Amino acid sequence: MSARVLSLIFWLMLSAPALAVTGNAPPAATWAARPIVMIVDARDDLCTGTALARDLVLTAAHCVNRPVDYTIKPYQTGVQIPVRTVVRHPRFDYASYAASRATADIALLKLAAPLPDVVVPATLAAPRRVAVGETLTIAGFGVTLAGTARGLGLPRMATLTVTGKPGSLQIRLYDDATRNLRIGLGGCTGDSGAPAFDGDGPMIIGVVSWSTAPGDEEGCGGLTGVTPLLLYRDWIVDTARKINSPIAP
């Protein structure tokens, strides 16, 4: 393991800016893997994003909150594409995010060049509220074991169950097999910004924002927090049009 990777893991453990699919999550199926890309900053920190157009990527605002350069890296080619413009939702508040309060953790990235044809853009799911007991699928490039680099950069997916009191500001997911009582599948380091898909197809209903270990402890494998797109869908469509990357409403 390189010193750069160790440095990345240490920084992520301290500041928790990104999340991954822990446990024995399977490789992401074709429909879930083809829209997702890695987002790498000037310090080699990694998040996940989803292509909405050939030159437009959706991710979490906290992933691109620092004034540094960002690039997009499709795992299929490994060729990095510079990010030309970062647009965070105007109601995103990093202090609220850091204090574990719900905020508009959504951002769009305009790329300097088109993504390769092997990346197939996803679509926005129909706007709706989810209910307790429903399942959503997340797919990302994060680690499979918290505090290590195991699995980092490989696309994996997990189908998780909605729990708690889902609303328009936040959705909480857990592994139905472990129910937040012991470590199970869920978001972890590297999965922030990953899509939460509605159904068995690339239709995005939310973006992964945070995770906990079982019992609301710090870590992964307990709860996965998702920012639903319900309140932000119109902003995504309007912003995409303004930066000349129109997507289907």
Structural tokens at position 7: 């440095």
Confidence band of 149 (pLDDT split at 50, 70, 90) = confident
| Averaged pLDDT score across all residues of the chain | 89
Which pLDDT score is estimated for 70? 98
Q: How many domains does one find in the chain?
A: 2
Please check the confidence at residue 4 and state whether its pLDDT lies above 50: no
Residue 2: other Cβ atoms inside 10 A: 9
Coil/strand/helix, residue 31:
helix
Residue 101 covered by a domain: yes
Shared-domain flag, residues 138 and 224: yes
Q: Range of 141's domain? A: 124-228
Residue 110 covered by a domain: yes
Which pLDDT score is estimated for 6? 32
Instruction: For tokens 């289907």, name the residue.
Output: 248
- Residue 171 is classified by DSSP as E
Residue 164 covered by a domain: yes
The residue that leads in pLDDT, 148 or 190, is 190
Which pLDDT score is estimated for 53? 97
What's the half-sphere exposure (Cβ side, CA atoms, 13 Å) at 75?
23
Shared-domain flag, residues 62 and 145: no
Residue 22 covered by a domain: no
Residue 110 belongs to domain with CATH number:
2.40.10.10
Q: The whole model's pTM is what? A: 0.90
Q: How buried is residue 21: exposed, middle or buried, by Cβ count under 10 Å (0-12/13-18/19+)?
A: buried
Residue 181: other Cβ atoms inside 10 A: 12
The answer to whether the CB of 38 falls within 8 A of the CB of 72 is yes
Residue 70 covered by a domain: yes
Shared-domain flag, residues 91 and 210: no
Considering just the CA atoms, what is the radius of gyration of the chain in Å?
16
Helix (H) or strand (E) holding 82: strand 81-88
Shared-domain flag, residues 213 and 155: yes
Shared-domain flag, residues 68 and 191: no
Shared-domain flag, residues 151 and 79: no
The residue that leads in pLDDT, 210 or 6, is 210
Residue 21 covered by a domain: no
Helix (H) or strand (E) holding 235: helix 233-242
Q: What is the pLDDT of residues 29-68, one digit of tens each?
A: 789 999 999 999 988 899 999 999 999 999 999 999 999 9
For residue 88, what are the β-bridge partners?
Answer: 107
Which pLDDT score is estimated for 23? 53
Residue 27 covered by a domain: no
Confidence band of 17 (pLDDT split at 50, 70, 90) = very low
Please check the confidence at residue 15 and state whether its pLDDT lies above 80: no
Which pLDDT score is estimated for 242? 97
Shared-domain flag, residues 108 and 9: yes
Residue 157 covered by a domain: yes
